[in-house]
Amino acid sequence: MLEKWELKENPFRSTPPDDPEKLAQIFYGRAQILDVAIPTLYEGRNILIRGVWGIGKTALIFNLINQLQQEVAEIKEKMLVLYLSSIPGDSPPEFYRALLLAIADSLAEIDEEARDIANTLLGYSIQRTKTTTEGQVKLGIISFGRRQESPANLVSPTDKIDPYPLLIKLLSKAEEKYHRIVIAIDDFDKKDPIIVQTILESSLDLFRMGKNRGFIMTGRGFTDLQEATLKALGIFSEDIPLEPMSQDDLHHIVINYLNSVRYQPRNDTYPFTEDVMNLITNYAQGVPRQLNEICEKVLRKAASAGYETIDQPAFNTIWETLQKEFTNQLSPQFRHLLYVAHEAGGISENISDRTLDKLDALTFVELLPQLKLLEEQGVLIRQEDQKGFKFLPSQLFQPKLVSEAQEE
């Protein structure tokens, strides 16, 4: 059925493609942020990008890297770009060791010391999603996994040797080989707040001393203490919050996704009708990842059902089915939490005692780990404003189903 709609495949995915060129076909909006971020990174300064789950932080980084690649190629400079999708460990030394391994691996072909370090296991292994050299730009997209073996070279960094001096040394070597170095670290605030604070406070040489190296770090939110630390240390030249996207921007993103798999590009959302797309972009609550999840599910159901187009009657039938499936897949505990959140208009730091009683909790802090887990799963959507933030149920959740079950 996708062929009937002149689509090669279902283009919607919960995570953006890791290929910057493919992402550039899809990316839309955030132009003002790119105008600020590109010269900041080129000048070797650091950027902090913040936003809720699924708001587009990773997509922004990849698109930023793609544009930097193009600009650097035009002036014939050499640039090293590393994207670290995850950081292992729960201590600053483990953070340094993982970053050291990524740098050493990128220099291994041209530097003997880097090759020795890269060949040493360091307790980790690298999984390269992509490592390419395009013109003057070397790009590595890296994540980490634990190894069980012991390090093979005892003179190389182990758990007993501080990796930080070697990290600084290799970064200096890299600056001799490349005109520009950009290191992107995603979801840095997944670490314990104390660990994050310790890393930042003890890493001024890492984050501030390199003339031609810039860091991009992303996070969903930082504590008041971390905020104060960041401002006092002056690590980041730009602190960029990503706001929820408008329905118009989300509409353009859908067109771009569809055009990425169409045989011939179009300027509309076919097979979705415009009135249906207005509903979907509203249900996405300003979050691109939620938009992708809804579009993927609706398009798949519509293709299986053999609809000619996804118009209002077709969408209503599909949406009812999706809500039932989504809600019924939740555990009774999570269904109850979402129902209470719906009834309360969201869960925030200002949660009432009555709502806490319904959730069998004493404080908001007690609920926070569970709320963050549901946010990561796309079940709760975190929204922020000047008053703070609150968690709202995904529009895929159908509170009526929980209410009817309770009545029974």
pLDDT, one tens digit per residue, over 343-359 is 999 999 899 999 999 99
More confident residue, 399 or 386: 399
Contact 28, 256 (CB under 8 A): yes
Given a cut of 80, whether residue 334 has pLDDT beyond it is yes
Average pLDDT along the chain? 84
Q: Which residues pair with 49 in a beta bridge?
A: 218, 240
Mean pLDDT score, 145-168: 57
Which residue segments constitute the domains of the chain, with CATH numbers given?
Answer: 30-241 (3.40.50.300), 247-327 (no CATH), 330-407 (1.10.10.10)
Q: Which residue has the higher pLDDT, 139 or 315?
A: 315
Confidence of residue 102 (pLDDT cuts 50, 70, 90): confident
* Percent over 90 (pLDDT), the chain: 39
CA distance 240 to 47: 7
**How much is the average pLDDT of 85-111?**
82
Q: What is the pLDDT of residue 138?
A: 67
| pLDDT score recorded for residue 155 | 40
Three-state DSSP string of 155-197: CCCCCCCCCHHHHHHHHHHHHHHCCEEEEEECCHHHCCHHHHH
Position 271 scores a pLDDT of: 97
- 221 burial level (CB within 10 Å; 0-12, 13-18, 19+): middle
Q: What is the per-residue pLDDT for 277?
A: 98
Q: Is the pLDDT of residue 54 over 70?
A: yes
Q: Which residue would you say has higher pLDDT here, 184 or 140?
A: 184
Give the pLDDT confidence score for residue 150 in this predicted structure: 39
Whether 333 has a pLDDT exceeding 80, the answer reads: yes
pLDDT band at 144 (very low <50, low <70, confident <90, very high): low
Of the candidates 234, 189, 199, 244, the one whose C-alpha atom is nearest the C-alpha of residue 46 is 234
Confidence of residue 70 (pLDDT cuts 50, 70, 90): confident
Tell me the average pLDDT across 202-214.
Answer: 85
**Does the structure show a pLDDT above 50 at 86?**
yes
Angle between helices 288-305 and 274-283 (to 10 degrees): 140
Per-residue pLDDT band for 142 (boundaries 50, 70, 90) equals low
Sign of CA dihedral 357, 361, 363, 369: negative
Write the single-letter amino acid at 76. Answer: K
The predicted pLDDT at position 4 comes to 92
Asked if residue 134 has pLDDT above 60, the reply is no
Which has more confidence, 86 or 287? 287
Distance (Å, whole) CA 52 – CA 391: 10
pTM of the model: 0.84
Cα dihedral across residues 377, 379, 384, 389: positive or negative? negative
> Which pLDDT score, from 0 to 100, does residue 74 have?
82
Residue 280: both structure tokens together: 């979907």
128: pLDDT strictly greater than 70: no
Q: For residue 73, how many other CB atoms are within 10 A of its CB?
A: 15
The Cα–Cα gap between 303 and 162 comes to 56
Whole-number pLDDT of residue 221: 64
Q: According to the model, what pLDDT value does residue 226 have? A: 66
CB-based contacts of 23: which residues, under 8 Å, 6+ apart? Answer: 16, 17, 59, 62, 63, 66
pLDDT for the residue 408? 45
Q: How confident is the model at residue 295 (pLDDT cuts 50, 70, 90)?
A: very high
In terms of Cα–Cα distance, which of 172, 186, 201, 187 is closest to 103? 172
Per-residue pLDDT of 219-241, as tens digits, reads 876 666 666 777 778 888 898 88
Residue 96: pLDDT over 90:
no
Q: For residue 399, what pLDDT band results from cuts at 50, 70 and 90?
A: very high
The mean per-residue pLDDT over the stretch 181-207 comes to 81
Whether the per-residue pLDDT at 10 is higher than 90: the answer is yes
Q: What is the predicted pLDDT for the residue at 149?
A: 38
Query: Can you tell me the mean pLDDT for 292-319?
Result: 96
Model pLDDT, residue 147: 40
What DSSP string runs through 285-319? TT-HHHHHHHHHHHHHHHHHHT-SSB-HHHHHHHH
- pLDDT at position 114, please? 85
pLDDT at 374: 93
Looking at residue 157, what is its pLDDT? Answer: 46
Residue 11 scores a pLDDT above 90: yes
The pLDDT of residue 152 is above 50: no
